[in-house]
Structure 1
């Protein structure tokens, strides 16, 4: 027997015939949840204000089958914005109608290359995962398609060049440092490998702009647990709906003319155009990702499971706030008012009741994350203040305890786990041994004044009294022994 849900009509332009359509102006490599709720969503916000009037052509970067739902739904989908913004609960939804079509180069390669013929297309964005911007020496111009994203992009650009048309503004969103520069380098390398000629190389440099960018939005994706309820509330079926938090940040390092051509900030979106991306990347890496890493081992040792539980915990919430405001913010090179506001926004995001962000999932590859996100702050703090930041150092100690393997599940590469197992086999020497291991930290940390002694003291307290009592001791609220 059919359920009431099955009687709901499928989301399509037949159901909403008055939704506008726009000429194609942007190519988007990536049809996943993030880009649909980030780049494409921002294009729609510009369209609704009459500032862009363009649609997005999505390119499937991988060879897996294209979901049938895109065509059935006329490339419409619902974006659900759920979370906390300015201390208020936000629950909104919007039918996104600014995607025109989805092309898979694996089944429609000539249709993909034909995009080079369209004069209306000006921008290219991408999110093909951190591993997407990589050089594949096996790619060839004659492949249909090339395996890598940079290979496909080079082929498309070469077709554009052959047609004598203008180039593109290319803004990758992959979460790697200097993503635009690295993508440009690989495209130029393919051009040389494929002997595409000096004319093409000159056109690449002259007619195309590769921008570095930094993206920030939590996009959990399809709301599987609430899908039936939501489709009842909306009155239609949507197998492409995607949830996202209210917060959004896009920092784009590009030329002075770009804000006028791509009026994101003018449309009220939290988009920053800059000539130096570095401090903004440091802000996100250290003030968003850093606290995630700092809370993970401590939270797990204290018996908590999610980020939201951490932020509702009396001891750990104070730890996170003081970590951010007293140890991380003073070490970053941006105006203090902006950093404090960002830190407040991050804490609101951490408390989002609509997102279950598990500490166990954040714990994956924690050693590399600590090296990138917290260690630079610890070292700078020690140089400038002549002391160790006690909260970062405590999180370091909790990480070492967690990687002993007797209290927490370890999720890291075999090489990393082998180094820890060897070190923990000799407990009396474990801290000096681990600090000397440059493979773990990117450098030998044994010469950092007071670090070994402090870590040893914190490890003893975590083992003897537990994470919560040690946190209270750090904050001056518990004697916790000697």
Structure 2
């Protein structure tokens, strides 16, 4: 079995079409640290077939379908970067050995439930009921106890400053561990903020996914940063704020705006995002919201030109004829998404102009709050 310097917590279709794919392509060029061990931290036995397929000798399939710079794209890629696929708690000792020794970078993309605090988080004995941050703390303590080398933690969850957030959660959980370990978490662990952007619309069975051509993994630079791979879709930036606001307040905001109309039964016959953009009235309304309420907000921050360019790219992505991006999927956790994507945008632009009017976006926030 090969050494796996990359350990990935999470088996999501997103990770398969993002980090796993990038590392696979980079490995072929000799531009990656090495292969990946995937760890399913939830203990969900129903996904055992997916685990086995992720580490299959011939890899798994990712289908890239959409429009790239005006050209129709429809191609298949075999991803072969996953060397091992393990599950907690069954493979706890093996995971412990890998994290304590050969791991150099830990990646994650866990479900929201994985971050919720648990009563088990306050104990030092491993429990499957622990949250993901508590499980990570438990494993890092074993690395510390074995005099392990420094390690880098790279969450990809869609949380602003995700590395800093995970660090604070781990530091808090580590209060029940020795003080020397808490100092080690500060001095020998690099916590990396990053932002990911790719629409992965549907899974393939038993593993694999369908994804759009557009992909971005923006990684915030810091001293000692090590990249898992060199790839055209991996970009190191001085500050994630510029990338975050474009994605959150244009692409994500647009998704939530469309879903708000769909949930209000204004366009109940539509199933996918592409259906909404195929409806001329809906498309015109969305473009008008961007033109009158969104781009002017970026203009207040002296970022009008880049916002206009990103809106154009976003509308092309929404119109992807191959992408089965279900409105019902986007509608999950709708209230939280309205707060993060629309209410936060209104607060952001009103930092520059408290009197700015965005009536359609304001109406969605008010309706969600009522």
Contact residue 33 and residue 228 of structure 2 kept, 8 A: no
> Hey, what's the Cα distance between the residues in 1 that align with 2:364 and 2:207?
40
2:330 counterpart residue number: 362
The answer to whether the 8 A contact 2:256-2:337 is kept is yes
C-alpha distance in structure 2 between counterparts of 1:27 and 1:337, whole Å:
39
Distance change (3 Å), C-alpha of 1:68 and 1:385: closer
Question: 2:41 aligns to what SS in structure 1?
Answer: coil
**Relative to structure 1, is the Cα distance of residues 281 and 70 closer, same or farther in structure 2, using a 3 angstrom cutoff?**
same
| Aligned counterpart, 2:182 | 201
Map of 1:255 onto structure 2: 222
Among 172, 175, 182, the alignment partner of 1:192 is 175
Equivalent residue for 2:360, pick from 345, 370, 394: 394
Query: Given the alignment of the two structures, is residue 286 of structure 1 paired with residue 255 of structure 2, yes or no?
Result: no
- Specify the alignment match of 1:129 in structure 2: 111
Displacement of 1:354: 1.7
Quote how far apart the aligned CAs of 1:27 are.
0.5
Q: Is the 8 A contact 2:137 2:173 kept in 1?
A: yes
Q: Which moved more, 1:203-212 or 1:377-386?
A: 377-386
Counterpart residue number, 1:273:
236
Instruction: Give the alignment of 1:327-476 within 5 angstroms.
Output: 327-332=293-298, 333=301, 335-378=303-346, 384=353, 386-389=355-358, 393-394=359-360, 396-397=362-363, 440=369
Aligned residues of 2:202 and 2:324 also touching (Cα < 8 A): no
What CA deviation, in whole Å up to 9, does each residue of 1:404-463 have, x standing for no partner? xxxxxxxxxxxx7xxxxxxxxxxxxxxxxxxxxxxx28xxxxxxxxxxxxxxxxxxxxxx
Shift of 1:117: 4.1
In structure 2, the CA distance between the partners of 1:167 and 1:53, relative to structure 1 (3 Å rule), is closer
In the alignment, what sits opposite 2:284? Answer: 318
Instruction: Give, in whole Å, the separation in 1 of the partners of 2:322 and 2:276.
Output: 15
Q: How many residues align?
A: 360
Displacement of 1:385 in angstroms is 8.4
Cα-to-partner distance string for 1:117-172 (whole Å, 9 max, x where unaligned): 433x2111101123323333423222254622112111111111111121211111
Secondary structure of 1:273's aligned partner: strand
Distance 1:369 1:179, change over 3 A: same
How much has 1:387 moved relative to structure 2? Answer: 5.0
Change (3 A) 1:134 1:287: same
Mark the CA change 1:309 to 1:349 in structure 2 (over 3 Å): closer, same or farther.
same
1:361 and 1:221 map into 2 onto residues whose CA distance is: 10
1:155 & 1:378 partners in 2: Cα distance?
40
- 1:201/1:92 CA distance change after superposition, 3 Å: same
Structure 1 residue 372, shift from structure 2 partner: 2.7
Deviations 1:48-88 (A, max 9, x none): 22111510100101011152354363472111111122122
Instruction: Kindly state the Cα deviation for residue 110 of structure 1 after the two structures are TM-superposed.
Output: 0.9
What CA distance in whole angstroms lies between the structure 1 residues aligned with 2:356 and 2:179? 55
* Unaligned 5+ runs, structure 1: 1-20, 224-237, 404-415, 417-439, 442-482
Q: 1:290 to 1:206 in 2, by over 3 A?
A: same
Preserved CA contact (<8 Å) 1:82 1:92 = yes
**Greater strand percent: which structure?**
2
Q: Does 1:211 align with 2:192?
A: yes
Which position in structure 2 is the counterpart of 1:445?
none
Change (3 A) 1:379 1:352: same
Partner Cα distance (1:199, 1:399) in 2:
46
| TM-score in terms of structure 1 length | 0.68
Distance 1:241 1:105 in 2: 21
Alignment check: 8 A CA contact 1:83 1:353 kept: yes
- Secondary structure of 1:59's counterpart equals strand
